[in-house]
Amino acid sequence: MALALGGALMVGCSDDGNATEGATTGGSTTGGSTANEPTTGGSTTGGSTEPTTTGGDTTEATTGSEIDPRVADCLRINACEADGGTPMGLQACLAHPLDVPWTWASTGTMLMSIKAMECKLAAPDCETVRACTPSLAPHADACKEKPGEGLCAGDQWVACDFEGQPIAAMDCAAAGLKCGADIWAGCGLETCEYGVTESKCDPNEPDVLIECNPDGFLARVDCRTQNNFVFINGKDGEKRFTIAGETCGFDPMRNANACVGTGEPCDFFSQQCNGDVLETCAGGKLGHRDCSAVEPLGQGCGYLQAGPFAGGASCGLVNTQCGLDAPESCEGATISFCDWDQPGTIDCVAAGYSGCATTDYAGRTVAYCTP
């Protein structure tokens, strides 16, 4: 199963409007496809940790101050997966915050990969980490009946390819959720009726949209950080636009509540980069998002060149010294990887693990610290 957006090239714009290039976003977190964007800045070499073992599982008890907490989480997840699961390497894990802002626009295996990574990050132990993405084999017969669709097998959300083979799965229960399939399958908790339950703005958090997803569950959308995406087919061909709002409000284009801008009125979809500021037409008003304030690292504004949101303007990492789709490696106990925007290394032994190992994941070599 291939990485769909790992290291997708983003063409950025400098303050004078000239194009600059840099590797940006996305990685596949569970072997499904994903897209792009943010959480905390990178780090390199490691402090010490002391792993604790419970029932054969190794987890970190403490993290050295020199290891970024997000990198430490990815080290832990990979060590857990090394004992009976499938290590994804550091970069696919680190790419998750770059994918999160596209959750609102995501469906199918792309949405599943984002949700499954959230499940792993929140998992209290290795058993739960591995449970987030269960084995596909038990779902082979069910997928034969639903080629190209998603289904619920109990509380396991399963995606089937068009040949009727399972290609990805998530255990909703491991994330404290349930599996539902109204129009299509997905994980959630609070049920609703798609097409009937009206979207609304949270009265306590006015920037948050609450809407009913096609899986039959309510979803919360933070309009300050989330992107949507639209395809327009016209006489000039297909055009693609990002919708990056600022707050929740009535959208006359949808005739419903959605994420809208707070700037000047606009009467059609539009997008541009004004320096580091992403400007889009969102719900009849211009929305402005300062990419330089977006984590990790502070970002730039540019246009995605690959993946399901190609052609869309976006915040992302620009002028990077490495790509999140680059091979990872081991030299003795030291793991070498792309730490978001620059090469990084971590001594696995100093970080509390037994050593460093490599494997193949999504068609490339990845490295991880062994439990």
pLDDT digits (tens, 9 = 90+) for 283-298: 999 999 999 999 888 8
> Residue range 91-101: average pLDDT?
96
What is the token pair recorded at 280?
């889009």
pLDDT band at 201; cut points 50, 70, 90: very high
Q: Could you report the per-residue pLDDT of 223-273, keeping only the tens digit for each?
A: 999 999 999 998 888 999 999 999 999 999 999 999 999 999 999 999 999
Nearest Cα residue to 205 out of 182, 225, 175: 225
* Alpha helix ranges (H) inside the chain: 69-81, 89-94, 96-99, 108-122, 126-131, 140-144
What is the pLDDT at residue 4? 29
What is the pLDDT at residue 297? 83
Average per-residue pLDDT for the chain: 86
Q: Name every residue whose Cβ is closer than 8 Å to that of residue 227 and which is 6 or more positions away in sequence.
A: 37, 101, 102, 104, 105, 242, 243, 244, 309, 312, 314
Cα separation, 217 vs 213, in Å, equals 6
Higher pLDDT residue, 9 or 173?
Answer: 173
Give the residues across from 342 on adjacent strands.
Answer: 339
pTM for the full predicted model? 0.84
AA identity, residue 193: E
Q: Name every residue whose Cβ is closer than 8 Å to that of residue 366 and which is 6 or more positions away in sequence.
A: 87, 88, 89, 90, 91, 92, 327, 328, 358, 359, 360
> Residue range 63-75: average pLDDT?
82
Which strands form 271-274's sheet, in the order they lie side by side?
271-274, 277-282, 285-290
Cα separation, 213 vs 192, in Å, equals 8
Q: Name every residue whose Cβ is closer than 8 Å to that of residue 2 and which is 6 or more positions away in sequence.
A: 28, 33, 362, 363
AA identity, residue 117: M
Asked if 344 contacts 336 with a C-beta cutoff of 8 angstroms, the reply is yes
Indicate the range of 41-45, 116-120, 158-162, 200-204 predicted with least confidence: 41-45
